């Protein structure tokens, strides 16, 4: 992609629309509202910052260098001019400023940001941008389209993942479940339902800030490539799909189970989709018949030997916790966890809640949301079961049903300089409810006991203080953060 055309068309001629003599444009990215956020009651109005470094490395450095600065000037400028001429009219947009940028050889831009992994209060800027050479004043907001499109999603996904982790922690404490199980209790199932593989990789990276359970392989690559990830980045287990079960035929389903848990995977964890035909037969009759085989499986080097049953349809709350409207005493009435408890038993936590025998478990990944996860955990607790009896597959029903408006992300200018005169600029639409009202002038952010706090209308000296640090300047990455550091900030 020619990064010159990674814009909305209206960006193309803003250079001439700014007042004559404009020298600097200073903008910031801020989450402005949680009114449309798919979170639970009690959300503390803090959004996770992550994704900026990935954008800087992947777009501002790799893409701009490879597809613009390292390309013949005539070639990239001609392509840009052709796009503008065809859509806006011949010679409607001059190209001399683009030619000058190519001659310069780097992006004259300074980005100052909070540390990635910070949980940033609503209405507090996450980072600021300003051009470093006056003749490139137009560049700051020229990049708005691409930086907004590339950053809001990972911030949003990471925030939702953090809320899943908070929910799981709350119920683990309540029911006495081990806290070290939580990193794998939320498992990313979203890849196939995202808007392309790059979206899946970036969204999946957001998930990895709070969990290690993932089936999105590309997210691990992204974390390594752009966030210096090492050690345990993401983990998964062998698992079946419906085609595997169907190919074994309905009459041979129990033998498919037996071959999987006895021959192919005699140790470790294996997850088996169990609702291809009659889930209740599987979770009661088949599980009972296979009990000794399941209990006899050997532990792997991590001490694991678990068969995980995976229902994949129906009402997840009723499937896991039981359906009060089903025939009393039936498997459907009891629910998956109680059925397995009756067959395999287990232990009781210090808080008095039951935990299934470590040789069996349940994962549910169809249309899970925070609200449904909460209802399932509440339902299990009401029946006396601890929270670690279930793993949630968090899929595209959570991570794709998101928009930039969930947290009101916007990149807006608040300061500029024209002919040497500083101008504090702002917007405050009379037709708005206040969400779109912007800060004014230069900005400073401080970390306080109530979280991050924004101060606007700052002097140049004040703007240099506070929690913002320069992360990118004139084509160079200044601070290179790791996934490990991000995870540590979120835990802290």
Whole-number Å distance between alpha carbons of 43 and 382? 23
**12 and 78 assigned to the same domain:** yes
C-alpha distances (whole Å) from 262 to each of 298, 307, 477 are: 10, 11, 52
Q: Give me the CATH number covering residue 228.
A: 3.20.20.70
The verdict on residue 170 lying in a domain is no
Decide: 177 and 190 in contact? Cβ < 8 Å: no
Tell me, yes or no, whether 43 lies in a domain. Answer: yes
My answer on whether 227 and 336 are in the same domain is yes
Domain boundary among 342, 376, 400: 400
Q: What sign results for the dihedral spanned by CA atoms 339, 342, 343, 349? A: positive
Does residue 12 contact residue 84 with C-beta atoms inside 8 Å? Answer: yes
In a domain, 168, yes or no: no
Domain boundary among 378, 400, 422: 400
Domain co-membership, 55 together with 112: yes
Same domain for 382 and 443:
no
Residue 449 domain flag: yes
Q: Is residue 101, in this structure, part of any structural domain at all? A: yes
Q: Please report which helix (H) or strand (E) contains residue 247, including its range.
A: helix 242-247
The number of distinct structural domains making up the chain is: 2
In a domain, 286, yes or no: yes
359, 294 Cβ separation under 8 angstroms:
yes
Q: Does residue 407 belong to any structural domain of this protein?
A: no
Indicate whether 240 and 179 sit together in one domain: yes
pLDDT in tens, the chain (492 residues): 789 999 999 999 999 999 999 999 999 999 999 999 999 999 999 999 999 999 999 999 999 999 999 999 999 999 999 999 999 999 999 999 999 999 999 999 999 999 999 999 999 999 999 999 999 999 999 999 999 999 999 999 999 999 999 999 999 999 999 999 999 999 999 999 999 999 999 999 999 999 999 999 999 999 999 999 999 999 999 999 999 999 999 999 999 999 999 999 999 999 999 999 999 999 999 999 999 999 999 999 999 999 999 999 999 999 999 999 999 999 999 999 999 999 999 999 999 999 999 999 999 999 999 999 999 999 999 999 999 999 999 999 999 999 999 999 999 999 999 999 999 998 788 887 777 778 999 999 999 999 999 999 999 999 999 999 999 999 999 999 999 999 999 997
Q: Tell me whether residue 216 is in a domain.
A: yes
Check if the beta carbon of residue 50 is closer than 8 Å to that of residue 205.
yes
As separate numbers, helices (DSSP H) first and strands (DSSP E) second, the chain gives 22, 18
* Full-model pTM: 0.96
Single out the residue in 370, 400, 430 at which a domain terminates.
400
Residues 318 and 277 in one domain: yes
Does 360 lie in the same domain as 280? yes
Which structural domain range is residue 133 located in?
3-155+412-491
């Amino acid at each position: 992609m020619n990064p010159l055309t990674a814009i909305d068309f209206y960006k193309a001629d803003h250079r001439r629309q700014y007042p004559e003599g404009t020298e600097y444009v200073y903008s910031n990215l801020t989450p402005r509202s949680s009114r449309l956020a798919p979170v639970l009651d009690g959300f503390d109005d803090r959004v996770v910052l992550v994704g900026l470094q990935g954008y800087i490395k992947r777009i501002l450095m790799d893409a701009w260098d490879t597809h613009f600065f390292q390309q013949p000037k005539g070639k990239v400028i001609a392509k840009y001019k052709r796009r503008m001429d065809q859509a806006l009219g011949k010679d409607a947009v001059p190209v001399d400023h683009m030619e000058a940028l190519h001659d310069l050889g780097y992006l004259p831009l300074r980005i100052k940001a909070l540390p990635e992994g910070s949980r940033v209060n609503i209405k507090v800027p996450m980072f600021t941008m300003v051009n470093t050479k006056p003749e490139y004043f137009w560049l700051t907001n020229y990049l708005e389209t691409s930086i907004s499109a590339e950053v809001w999603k990972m911030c949003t996904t990471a925030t939702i993942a953090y809320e899943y982790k908070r929910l799981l922690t709350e119920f683990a404490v309540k029911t006495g479940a081990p806290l070290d199980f939580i990193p794998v209790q939320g498992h990313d199932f979203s890849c196939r339902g995202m808007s392309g593989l790059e979206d899946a990789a970036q969204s999946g990276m957001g998930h990895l800030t709070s969990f290690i359970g993932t089936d999105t392989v590309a997210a691990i690559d992204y974390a390594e490539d752009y966030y210096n990830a090492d050690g345990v980045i993401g983990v998964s287990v062998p698992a079946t799909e419906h085609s595997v079960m169907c190919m074994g035929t309905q009459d041979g389903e129990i033998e498919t189970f037996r071959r999987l848990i006895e021959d192919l995977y005699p140790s470790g964890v294996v997850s088996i989709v169990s609702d291809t035909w009659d889930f209740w037969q599987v979770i009661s009759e088949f599980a009972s018949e296979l009990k000794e085989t399941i209990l006899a499986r050997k532990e792997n080097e991590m001490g694991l030997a678990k068969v995980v049953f995976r229902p994949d349809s129906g009402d997840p709350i009723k499937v896991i916790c039981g359906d009060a409207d089903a025939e009393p005493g039936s498997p459907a009435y009891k629910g998956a966890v109680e059925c397995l408890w009756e067959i395999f038993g287990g232990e009781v936590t210090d808080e008095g809640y039951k935990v299934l025998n470590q040789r069996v478990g349940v994962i549910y990944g169809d249309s899970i949301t925070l609200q449904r996860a909460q209802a399932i955990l509440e339902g299990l607790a009401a029946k006396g079961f601890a929270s670690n009896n279930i793993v949630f597959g968090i899929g595209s029903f959570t991570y794709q049903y998101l928009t930039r408006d969930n947290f009101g992300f916007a990149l807006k200018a608040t300061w500029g300089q024209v002919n040497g005169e500083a101008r504090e600029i702002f917007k405050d639409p009379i037709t708005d409810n206040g969400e779109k009202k912007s800060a004014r002038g230069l900005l400073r952010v401080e970390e306080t006991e109530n979280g991050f706090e924004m101060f606007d209308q700052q002097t140049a000296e004040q703007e240099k203080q506070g929690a913002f640090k320069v992360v990118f300047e004139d084509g160079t990455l200044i601070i290179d953060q790791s996934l490990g550091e991000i995870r540590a900030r979120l835990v802290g």
